[in-house]
Amino acid sequence: MTSTDTPGDPSSASSPEEFEYTADPRWKQAIAEYADYASAQAAVDRLADAGFPVERVAIVGFDVRVVEHVLGRITAGKAALRGAAAGAWFGLLIGLLFGLFAPGFGWLAIVAISVVSGAVWGASMYFIAHLTTGGRRGFDSVETLEAGRYEVQVEAPFAPEAARLLADQPARPVN
C-alpha cells in the first residue's frame, strides 16, 4: 500500500474527540477476536458499561457460511394450517381497513368475515402449493448466517483505550 492509499496517521490527532468519523475500514483496528457472536457482543457491552463511545466499535464476522437448520417434516395438513394462519392475518388487515368505513358495529362483522375468508383461501392455496411440489421439499427449515470467528474492531484513535478496557476479559487478542 502506498502512502496515498492510507489515511493520515491517526496518532497525529491531538485527542480522540477531535477525530472525525469515517466509514473507511482502514481506520479500524482489531482489538480482540472471539469464537462466537455472543462473546463479541458481551465485549462491546462491557465497553458500553465502562462509558466507552461504542459508536466507534464494529463486530466483524469472518468465514461466513449459510447453515440450514431443519425444523421438521411438512405434511399437507401442516401446510394447510400455515396457510390458514397467514390468510387469517391478511384477512384481519383487510377487515380492519374496510371496517373503518362501516357504521356502528358493522365493522365487527366485516372483520370476522375477512378473517374467516382469509383463513379458508390461505389454507387452500398453501395446500395446493404443497401438493404441486410432489414431495420435492417435504421439510421445513430456517437458514442462518454464521461466522467462524468475530473480531471487535475500533476506530484507530480509540483502539488503545478499548483494548485497555477489555484487557482483563478472556479473549484472543489480535496482534
Q: What is the pLDDT of residue 79?
A: 92
Model confidence over 30-46: pLDDT tens digits? 999 999 999 999 999 99
In angstroms, the CA 25 to CA 30 distance is 11
Amino acid at 34: Y
Q: What is the pLDDT of residue 11?
A: 45
Most confidently predicted of 45-59, 111-125, 136-150:
111-125
Q: How many residues does the chain have?
A: 175
Average pLDDT score over the chain: 83
Count of helices and strands (H, E) across the chain: 4, 5
Question: How would residue 27 be classed by pLDDT, with cut points 50, 70 and 90?
Answer: confident
Q: What is the pLDDT of residue 99?
A: 87
Q: How far is CA 123 from CA 72, 79, 93, 96, in A?
A: 19, 7, 17, 21
Q: What is the pLDDT of residue 5?
A: 40
pTM over 0.75: no
- Work out the percent of the chain whose per-residue pLDDT is above 70: 80
CB neighbour list of residue 162: distance below 8 Å, 6 or more residues apart: 31, 47, 52, 56, 57, 152, 154
Mean pLDDT within 65-71: 92
Closest CA to 139 of 62, 55, 71: 71
**How many CB atoms are closer than 10 A to CB 149?**
15
Is pLDDT at 115 greater than 90 in this prediction?
yes
Is pLDDT at 16 greater than 60 in this prediction?
no
The radius of gyration of the chain's CA atoms, rounded to the nearest angstrom, is 27
